Structure 1
Amino acid sequence: MIMLLPVYEPGHGLVTTVTSLRDAVPGAHLVVVDDGSGPASARVLRDVEDLGCTVLRHDANRGKGAALKTGLRHIAAEYPGRAVICADPDGQHRVEDILRVAEHVAVSGRMVLGVRRFEGRVPLRSRFGNAVTRLLFRAATGCPVVDTQTGLRGYPAGLLDWLCRVPGERFEYEMNVLLHAARSGVPIEQTVIATTYLGDNGSSHFGSLKDSVRVYRPLLRHALTPSARSRA
């Protein structure tokens, strides 16, 4: 299994995530992309290197989309023909859910989203944001994606070059992947995962207003495209 973990200013939770994955899948290859973190994260990044992770570094913060593309290009070159599982290394994705997505990709050979049901104790902004984007995405594309904002995604090897051509450098990139998949007829499969938020989602680097605009702009642009409306 090839795991891709984009990080920015990671804490010790990254070490915990890496250790858990290593214990569960001893032969897994873990690629961490540090998106311009400061000195405070240097020890954590050295620790995961010592655990056997490949750590790629950006000199400055370029955004989650840029970090994912850096990792995907590296994996396509170093591990050709291998599927990739992308996860947010903040403790919100359980190892069993990561493995469930990996197995689904291996069986289906398709893009697989680990989707949350947003049940139980979920921060209001997360519950509301997902509900809005889910409805807008379905209206724009006709695709009933349950969780458009999930960071747990599996991609077969055949999609890696395509993923690197999808526009977007920051949080809008993952929405663009779904929109371009819907437009291009790339199948999107889903599997249910646990809904987990730690400390009211305080570890997230998603900025409420600026990043929301980045996510909603391509979604609304797609919804207003005549060809997209005719397919919905």
Structure 2
Amino acid sequence: MTDWPDVWLIVPCYNEGQVIEEVVRHARQTFPNIVCVDDGSKDDSAKGIRAGGAHLVQHPVNLGQGAAIQTGIEYARKQPGAKYFVTFDADGQHRIEDVLTMLERLRSEDVDIVVGTRFRGDVQESVPLIKRIVLKTVVLLSPRTRKLGLTDAHNGLRVFNKKVADEMNITLNGMGHASEIVELIGVRNWRVTEEPVTILYTEYSMSKGQSLINGVNILFDTMLKGRAH
């Protein structure tokens, strides 16, 4: 675990006690620095996080995934030697090999942030139909996403540098944070690219996955924020 000492994985976690220890243990075989933000879980997620060996930060109540990611970024960017940051799901859907590919691109190319996509190459065939419809609709209804050339702005797997981490200020606590991050990419002029990634849709992750209603909520949150500005 010495090859990536300047990388921090940021894992928002809410009621993932069934799987979080295994997810953390597996990730720590490659990345020693992981911070899990327990977002007011009502199960034993905190116990699993500690057992897996990650840093634990806890919200006393459930604030939402956006708030958990922001808390994790704020924690990680203060750590000595931190240069690269990864947002990584707690339910086992993301693959370490995809993170490694994205990190290599971030280090070697003139980009500030690499966003995972399920809609380039052959990987899109693994995306369940209803989820594919929701995610593509979000892209179609987001002028900023289209302008940036992004195809999957609501993929939770992202890799970014210290500049992005220092400037990241997510204010949408819920699922609308993904649209807010896209907006920040444009406003802050962060150099962005996409990397095809494979999402592991297990029975467990699908039971907790994003529904059509959540997709509508994302759009609603984003439109409200746009009006506020």
AA partner of residue 27 (structure 2):
L
Contact 2:145-2:182 within 8 A present in 1 as well: no
Which structure's residues are more often helix, by fraction? 1
Contact 1:179-1:219 within 8 A present in 2 as well: no
Q: Select which of 22, 32, 37 maps to 1:16.
A: 22
Deviations 1:179-214 (A, max 9, x none): 2212342222111111431128434364542x3344
Distance 1:168 1:116 in 2: 23
Q: Please tell me whether residue 212 in structure 1 is matched to residue 215 in structure 2.
A: yes
Distance 2:145 2:99 in 1: 29
Computed over aligned residues only, the root mean square deviation of the Cα atoms, in angstroms, reads 2.7
Superposed, 1:32-71 pairs within 5 Å as 32-48=36-52, 51=53, 53-71=54-72
Distance 1:160 1:112 in 2: 13
| Gaps in structure 2 of 5+ consecutive residues | 1-6
**When the two structures are superposed, what TM-score results if normalisation uses the length of structure 2?**
0.83
AA partner of residue 115 (structure 2):
L
**When the two structures are superposed, what TM-score results if normalisation uses the length of structure 1?**
0.82
Change (3 A) 1:67 1:139: closer
3-state SS of paired residue (1:130): helix
Comparing 176-185 with 84-93, greater Cα deviation is found at 176-185
Contact 2:63-2:174 within 8 A present in 1 as well: yes
1:198 maps to: 202
Q: Select which of 182, 186, 196 maps to 2:186.
A: 182
1:101 maps to: 102
Deviations 1:72-127 (A, max 9, x none): 11112123552111111211111101111222222235111011135334323211
Distance 2:159 2:226 in 1: 26
Comparing 184-193 with 194-203, greater Cα deviation is found at 194-203
Aligned residues: 219
Comparing 132-141 with 98-107, greater Cα deviation is found at 132-141
Q: Please tell me whether residue 87 in structure 1 is matched to residue 88 in structure 2.
A: yes
Q: Please tell me whether residue 75 in structure 1 is matched to residue 81 in structure 2.
A: no
Change (3 A) 1:221 1:58: closer
Structure 1 stretches (4+) deviating beyond 4 angstroms? Answer: 138-141, 218-225
* Percent of aligned pairs with the same amino acid: 22
AA partner of residue 175 (structure 1):
S
Contact 2:37-2:56 within 8 A present in 1 as well: yes
AA partner of residue 51 (structure 2):
D
